[in-house]
Structures are given as structure tokens and as C-alpha cells.
Structure 1
Amino acid sequence: MATPQGSSTQNNVADALNSVSFSPFHLKAMFASAMGFFTSAYDLFIIGTALVLIKSEWHLGAAEVGLIGSISLIATFVGAYVFGTLADRLGRKAIYGLEALLMTVGALLSAFAPDVTVLLIARVILGLGIGGGYPLSAVLMSEYANVKSRGRMVSLVFSAQAIGLVTGPVVALTLLAAGVNHDLAWRLMLGLGALPAAAVIYIRRTLPESPRWLARVKGDAVAAGKQLASFSLGTATATVQDKIVKQPLSRYWLTLLGTAGGWFMFDYAYYGNTISTPMIMSHIAPHADVVTSTALSLMVFAIAAVPGYFLAAFTIDRVGHKTLQMLGFFLMGLMFLLIGAFPVLTQSVGVFLVLYGVSYFFAEYGPNTTTFVLAAELFPVNLRTTGHGLSAGTAKVGAFLGALIFPILLHDYGLHGTLMITFFFALAGLLLTAFCLKEPAGKSLEEASGEDIVVPMRKNTSAGMTPS
């Protein structure tokens, strides 16, 4: 357990971090981490609007539209797994920033794509970078944070998605309302996603290595102590050495089923809905043009989704991380059930927007935030980015299926049948959360993950420290 600063009891690195005060360093780390999620959310929305224009300009069929909209998500799976695995082996700092470089290159190449093939390649590159950002940003932030505010700090990183979700339609509306040529408009929409990613490449490369990883995986207590003292401005110090953690992944299969499975179920619903929002709006308001449907989407995101992100960040540590995820799954699923089971509700655009908006609120005030947080808490330090990468990567397979299948389901089964199917995904996510995951709120990472159970002691000690 964390030891209060100023106590005569000796601390190891983990103990010191568990009670370290919030500092300007944390703000810098949060900004650097958050910009990747701004980019991913911006692209998540903007590709839906861009595809409406690309489809018309390039005369694409439904299959090509579905592939362009979803291929970055399957690349995200690969990126999350590869970067997550490497970060546990090589260190978080060793590769942090490379994923932002990939996002920058992918967004720029998308803007200059001359045909479908190049656009698909660009979106694969973008997806690899977005995927790498999930485990690295989440885990670094959770390992820098103290016990009391860990949920809030990691959630605030993820809440940059809210700004990206709103910025996307604002950019789209501005370009379309200004009468910009459609071929240029979609290229600007996609290319602008490079800016926030490019802005933080240097900052990410200069962040310190995680002291937890240095102390508890690499076994370099001296380097861990220096990094700890540096970013805490000397307010946190370690005087005893941490145990080396070598937990096997086989101990965490049930946890992985809960984090990866629940996230998969959520992302099927969320990404399918979000990328297909312009199409959903056309079902509700079939005579609306692109500008009108984009404005309706913006209204849903700004009024319903954005408050959900920030309310989640500021209440997650009080409500409970697992509890909030279950609440969100339940109420989000309930909205899908109401829309799917009672077609009369969609006869009024206003009623539909309220229900659809409530589903978005509880997506953000629930599993969209908590899946990101829980996967960064429930795995041991030697597997933390691997576990998060596997979870986020598996989730993006669900997102890929949602983005690919949603347009087909909308065509074949209509809006009501499609959202009834989505309800069952939300129900499955609720059950996986309830039966596979533990509540980590108020616990240290070491306690939440159980990483110190049957961990071998270090035989040799570093200068100035004794075994804990």
C-alpha cells in the first residue's frame, strides 16, 4: 500500500508513485498523451463525412466505402498489439512518439491519395499509429499517477476524444458551408488530422521512462529513483528496492477476457454507430443534405457525448471504474433496445435524437472511457502494455466489424433491426464486465493487478537501497 510522504516508513518506487503529488510534469504528460486521442477521434468522425464526398467523387460501391471506413481499425489492432508487446520488453520511452509519427504520415498521405489503393495504404499507416498510442499513452499515464487520482488522470487523457469528435464536424461544416470543392474538401478533412499528432512527437520522445517499469521489470533501481525524483520535483523518493515482477500471462486470461471482450463488444457498437452516423441521419431525415446531417451529428456529439467524457473523468474514482462501465453498458444498451423495438420512436427526428443522444452520453460516461482505464490497471507491470495492447487491439477488431457491417445491416435490416443487434452486443459487454473484472478503484496498481503475489525477490541490491 502507498505510504504517506513524510512518514518514517521506507518507500520503494511503487509506494512513492502511489502517493506522489500532482505536478506540472503530469500536465505535460497528459497533453502529450491526449493529442493522439484527439487525432483518433477526429479521424473517427471525419472519415464518415469524407466518405460521403469520396463515394460521389470516385463512384465507389458499398463494399469499397465499407473497406475505406474500416481498414484503419484492423491496422489499429496490429499497432496496439505490436507496440504493446514491444513496450513491455524495451520500455515505454524507447518507442513512445513513433506511433505519433505514423499518425502524421498516414493523415498526410490520405490527403494526397490519388486513388483507392493509396488511400487504403494511408489509412493502414494511420491505424498502426493510432493502435500504438492506446497501450503506451494509457499505461504511461497510469504508471505516473497516484492511487487517488489515477482514474481521473487516465480518463482526462482519453477525454481528448471529445474535442476530436466535435472538431471533426466543425471542420466538415466549415469546408462544406464555404463551398469548397468536394475533392479538395475531403482531402483537407483527412489531412488536418496530421497537425495534432505532429505537434507532440517531440514531447513524447522526451518524456521520462516509467519508474515502475525501470524498477520492477528492468531492475534498474538507481535509474528509477532518478526519474522519480526528477518528475516529482524531489517530493517523492525511494529508499528500498522494488521486487522484480515476472508474472505469466496465463494468470490473467479471465482478466483479458473481460478487458478485451468487453471492449470488443463496445467498439462494435460505438464505431459502427459513429462512422455510420451520416447514414443513420439519412434514414431519419432522408431529405437532408450532407451539411444538415453533419450538423445533426455535431449536435448529438456536442450536447450528449462531450459532457459524458468529462463527467466520467471527474466521477470515475468515486463511482468505481468497473461500476461505471456496467452502468454505461446497461443504459446505452437500453436506448438501443428502445429504438430497435419501437419503430414509432424514430418517426420524430426530435425523439430519435434524444434517445440516440442518451446512448452516446452513456457510451462516454461508461465503457468508452472505462475500457481504456481498466485495461491499464488490471495487468502486472511486466505485461501491462501487452495486456492493454491485446485488449485495445481486440476491441478494434470489433470496431472493424462494426464499421464494415453497419452499412450493410442498415441496408438489409433497416435502422431498427441494426440497433436491436447492437443492443445484444451491449448486453454481452455488461455480462463480461460483471463476471470477469475486479474493481480497481482506490487500489494501487500493484494491488489491483495482484502482481506481487509469488514474485521472486532480487538477490542483488543497487547502491543506496535495500530489498523491500
Structure 2
Amino acid sequence: MPDPTSTSTNAANRLNRLPISRFHKLATLALAFAYFFEFADINTFATTAPVMREQWGVTINHIAYVTSLSFVGMFLGSVVAGGLADRLGRKRTLVATTIWFSIWSFASVFAWDIVAMGVFRVMTSAGLSAMTVVAVVYMNELFPRAKRGKFQAYVIVIGICGTPATNLIASAVVPLADWTWRLVFLWGALGVLFLFFVRRLVESPQWLESRGRHAEAEQILTRLERDSTAEHGTLPEPVAPAPAGPTTKAGLAMLKDKRFLYPTILLSVLWISQTIGFFGFSSWAPTLLAAEGVSVEDSIFYVALTTVGAPLGSFLASLVTDRFERKWCLVVFGLIIAASGLLYGLTFTPLLIVAFGFLVNLFERGYTALAYAYSPELFDTKGRSLGTSISYGLGRLSNAAGPLIIAGLYGGLGYQAVFYFIAGTWVVGALALAVFGPATRKARLATEAAAVPTV
């Protein structure tokens, strides 16, 4: 039995040797619910923007400015959340950020013009991005290393259903009356029901240990070990903690440490290419199709059909994430997305629009699930929240320029130029990972081997 007075509870290794138990399944369900409405809320503005153009007389450039500012909100939200998660804890910050985005999504129901909508979307987007960063870190620190990729993908499988659900709801309610598009934002606000799951979650013992709160960490670890033993039998002994390396002061001072700076830069490239590549596609597809002569109803319906591929992509990620090297899975998925997105932009045949859009959503959501598992693995506990939040936040911030670039390309060079640009961003991200991305599978296999009981 670990000594409660010890200066280390060996939290990471004790959690890594736990089998998947009832707690992990309940946490998966809770986080999947939060993700469901996060993905739902991300798409509410994109699906209702064509109606705002008609009712409020706004232009493509107005839509671009609102979308751009939303990504500024995402950057601010993710960076603030990284600091809050380090200061207040993973669980408390997860709850606060979910409440935040739900409140502002509800406010969007009552927007009276594009300026008010822009303000509400910035505030909503800040909460969405903040919640995502904290949830990614929470899963990384609570789930055993050898299995966390698979369960991160399972969370996305369920959560990503919020995208097609929102698009299908929008396609059903938007045409009903002049005001019914507002119901789409009311739907996004239902993420606040996540509060019903809160009591099922625990604080991260790794975070508690990093803050010197060893007694609290020990209490949670003992409870999880006791419940796991009752469910699965005797547990293997945990691996001894590795000797502590040179310490770095927490906070932005870690940017001076190459062990922190290098993965932060690499992951910033990953999230920048993913953000511009994905949101350039998903946020603009309904509006650009409508601008090219496809009816608003048909454009929303086509996009709704393509997003059916999203949960399947996350499921595909669950099959490969712990079996193969995540770095190379990300490279392959990124190149497939680039090709599929480009072909989407080269056709106006409804069947091909749906088919190529389906492939983009399939592999992009798989890519995102893989990236959520890969990103926090490149940091230790002290740098995990800050490094993940900075890189993810810079990715979101990059798309403040993305919509303006897309609007400029569309106005100057036409519809197809937009999709050449989007495909190019995916290729850049894939090449950066292929050349500079560190492998993580060897460490996962070592952890899995250590968790096997000796006879």
C-alpha cells in the first residue's frame, strides 16, 4: 500500500495499469455527451448563415468576419482554459467551460442582427474550444495509456453525431418559418445538461499530484483501485516512478524548455492545418453551394448527408489508433482528406458532392480523434494542459484569417480555388508530421506490457 505521506503517489503508473472499468465507461459517456453538443454548437452558425443572408441582407464578407472572430474567441478560450485547468483542476474547468458555451449559445437565439450574432458566437466559441482542450487533457490523465486512444475515439464516435444531428435538425426546422432558424441555437444550448454527469467524474490524480495535493490524489487512486479490483480481480503492481528530470517553472516560462517548445510548435502546425482545412470546408460548404446556385434547402440537405460519415470516421480511428503508430495514421488520413476535398470542389453533381463530402467528413473526424489522443502524449503532466491549449488555440486562431482568405479566393478566383487552398493546407500538415512528428507507440506498448500481471 502506498505511503500517504510520500511526496509522490505515482499516479500515472497506477492509473496506467488499471483495466477499463465502470468508472472509465461512465466517464466516456459523460465526455461523449459534452462533445455531442460541442460538435453540434460548432455547426449552428454554418447551417443558419444562408438564412441570415436572406433575412438580414448580409454578404459573404459579413459571414467571413463573424466566422473569423469566432476563431479568435476559440483561441482566447483555449489558452484561458489551459491556465484555469492548471490552477483550478481539470474537472472544475470542464464543468465551467461547458456551462459557458451553453449560456452563450442560448443568447444566440435572441440575436437581432449580424453584429449581435457575432458577439454571441465569439463568446460561444471561446467556451467550445476551452471545453475541448480540458476534455482532451482529462481523458489523457484518467485513462490507461495503452487504451486511451481507443476510448478517445469512442468519445468522438458518439460526440460527432452532434454534427449530422444539427444539420438534419436545421434542414427540418429552418424552412418552417422565418424565425425557426433560431431553434438551431436553442438546440446547441442543451449542452448544459452535462451537469447531470458531473458527480460521476473525479479530479485528475495526476493534476492533484503535480499540485502537491497528495492526500487527495491518494484518496481518488485508492477508490479507483478498490472498484477495479472488485470488478476485475487482483491488479498488477504499478511500474516504479521514473527519476524526476530537471524541473521547469510552470507557466509560460516553459517555452524556454526545448522539451516543451518543440512539441508545441509541431502541434501548432498540426492544429493550424486541421483547423483551416476542416472549418474551411464545413463552415463554408452550405454558403458556397447556395452562392453557386444550389437552393438553400438543397445545400443544407447535401451537407447534412455528408456529415453522416463523421461518426464512422471516429469509429475507424478507434480501430487503428492503438494498433498502429498514430503519427503515420494522421499522415495517411490527412492526405486522403486533401484528395477528397479537392474532388468535392471540382464537381456540381449532387451524388458526387455527397460522396466526396462524405469521405472528407469520414477521414477528418478520424483525424481529429487521432490528434486528440496524440497531442497530449507529447507533454508531461506539468506542461500538458498549457502545451495542448497553446497549440490547439493557435490552430483555432489561424482560422481568423482562414475565412477571409477563402472569401478573397472565392471573389477573385472562383469556387474551385477555395478547394485547392483547403487541400493544400492538409498536405502541409501531413508533411510536417511525416518529417518531424515523434512516434509514441513504443511507449504505449511498454506500458501495456508492464500492466500484464505476473504469474
TM-score with structure 1 setting the length: 0.83
1:395 CA drift (Å):
1.3
Establish whether residue 213 from structure 1 lines up as the match of residue 207 from structure 2: yes
SS in structure 2 at match of 1:405: helix
Q: What percentage of aligned pairs have identical amino acids?
A: 23
Between the aligned partners of 2:28 and 2:335, the Cα distance in structure 1 is 30
Between the aligned partners of 2:445 and 2:117, the Cα distance in structure 1 is 41
Amino acid at match of 1:210: S
Between the aligned partners of 2:117 and 2:343, the Cα distance in structure 1 is 38
1:12 CA drift (Å):
2.9
Counterpart of 2:396?
Answer: 396
Amino acid at match of 2:266: G
SS in structure 1 at match of 2:144: coil
Aligned pairs for 1:281-360 (under 5 A) are 281-282=289-290, 286=293, 288-302=294-308, 304-338=309-343, 343=346, 346=347, 348-360=349-361
1:11 CA drift (Å):
8.7
Structure 2 residues not aligned, in runs of 5+: 1-7, 230-234, 249-253, 448-455
Aligned pairs for 1:21-420 (under 5 A) are 21-176=19-174, 179-182=175-178, 184-195=179-190, 197-204=191-198, 207-215=201-209, 217-232=210-225, 233=227, 235=229, 246-247=247-248, 248-249=254-255, 250=257, 251-282=259-290, 286=293, 288-302=294-308, 304-338=309-343, 343=346, 346=347, 348-366=349-367, 368-420=368-420
Amino acid at match of 1:324: C
1:145 CA drift (Å):
0.8
The structure-2 alpha-carbon separation of the partners of 1:227 and 1:442, relative to structure 1 and needing over 3 Å to count, comes to: farther
1:206 CA drift (Å):
6.2
User: How large is the RMSD of aligned CA atoms in angstroms?
Assistant: 2.7
Between the aligned partners of 1:444 and 1:272, the Cα distance in structure 2 is 34
1:91 CA drift (Å):
2.4
Please tell me whether the aligned partners of residues 260 and 395 of structure 1 are also in contact (alpha carbons under 8 angstroms).
Answer: yes
Between the aligned partners of 2:9 and 2:218, the Cα distance in structure 1 is 11
Between the aligned partners of 2:344 and 2:124, the Cα distance in structure 1 is 34
Task: Between 423-432 and 41-50, report the one with greater CA deviation.
Answer: 41-50
The structure-2 alpha-carbon separation of the partners of 1:173 and 1:359, relative to structure 1 and needing over 3 Å to count, comes to: closer
Per-residue deviation, residues 2-45 of structure 1 (Å, max 9, x unmatched): xxxxxxxx993221111111122112222222233222321232
Structure 1 residues not aligned, in runs of 5+: 1-9, 448-468
Counterpart of 1:460?
Answer: none
Per-residue deviation, residues 96-139 of structure 1 (Å, max 9, x unmatched): 21101111111110001223332222112211211211221011
1:60 CA drift (Å):
1.2
Please tell me whether the aligned partners of residues 333 and 426 of structure 1 are also in contact (alpha carbons under 8 angstroms).
Answer: yes
User: How many residues in Structure 1 have an aligned counterpart in Structure 2?
Assistant: 425
1:279 CA drift (Å):
2.7
SS in structure 2 at match of 1:208: coil
1:240 CA drift (Å):
7.4
Counterpart of 1:435?
Answer: 435
Please tell me whether the aligned partners of residues 141 and 206 of structure 2 are also in contact (alpha carbons under 8 angstroms).
Answer: yes
Please tell me whether the aligned partners of residues 102 and 189 of structure 2 are also in contact (alpha carbons under 8 angstroms).
Answer: yes
The structure-2 alpha-carbon separation of the partners of 1:230 and 1:424, relative to structure 1 and needing over 3 Å to count, comes to: same
Per-residue deviation, residues 301-329 of structure 1 (Å, max 9, x unmatched): 11x33311111123211122111111111
Please tell me whether the aligned partners of residues 310 and 361 of structure 2 are also in contact (alpha carbons under 8 angstroms).
Answer: yes
Between the aligned partners of 1:70 and 1:37, the Cα distance in structure 2 is 22
Amino acid at match of 2:261: W
Amino acid at match of 2:265: L
Please tell me whether the aligned partners of residues 151 and 441 of structure 1 are also in contact (alpha carbons under 8 angstroms).
Answer: no
- Poorly superposed stretches of 4+, deviation over 6 Å: 236-245
Between the aligned partners of 1:71 and 1:269, the Cα distance in structure 2 is 17
The structure-2 alpha-carbon separation of the partners of 1:442 and 1:154, relative to structure 1 and needing over 3 Å to count, comes to: farther
Please tell me whether the aligned partners of residues 19 and 228 of structure 2 are also in contact (alpha carbons under 8 angstroms).
Answer: no
Between the aligned partners of 1:229 and 1:322, the Cα distance in structure 2 is 34
Per-residue deviation, residues 377-436 of structure 1 (Å, max 9, x unmatched): 111100111111112111112333333432442232222211112222111101221233
The structure-2 alpha-carbon separation of the partners of 1:445 and 1:400, relative to structure 1 and needing over 3 Å to count, comes to: farther
Please tell me whether the aligned partners of residues 257 and 432 of structure 1 are also in contact (alpha carbons under 8 angstroms).
Answer: no
Task: Between 222-231 and 256-265, report the one with greater CA deviation.
Answer: 222-231
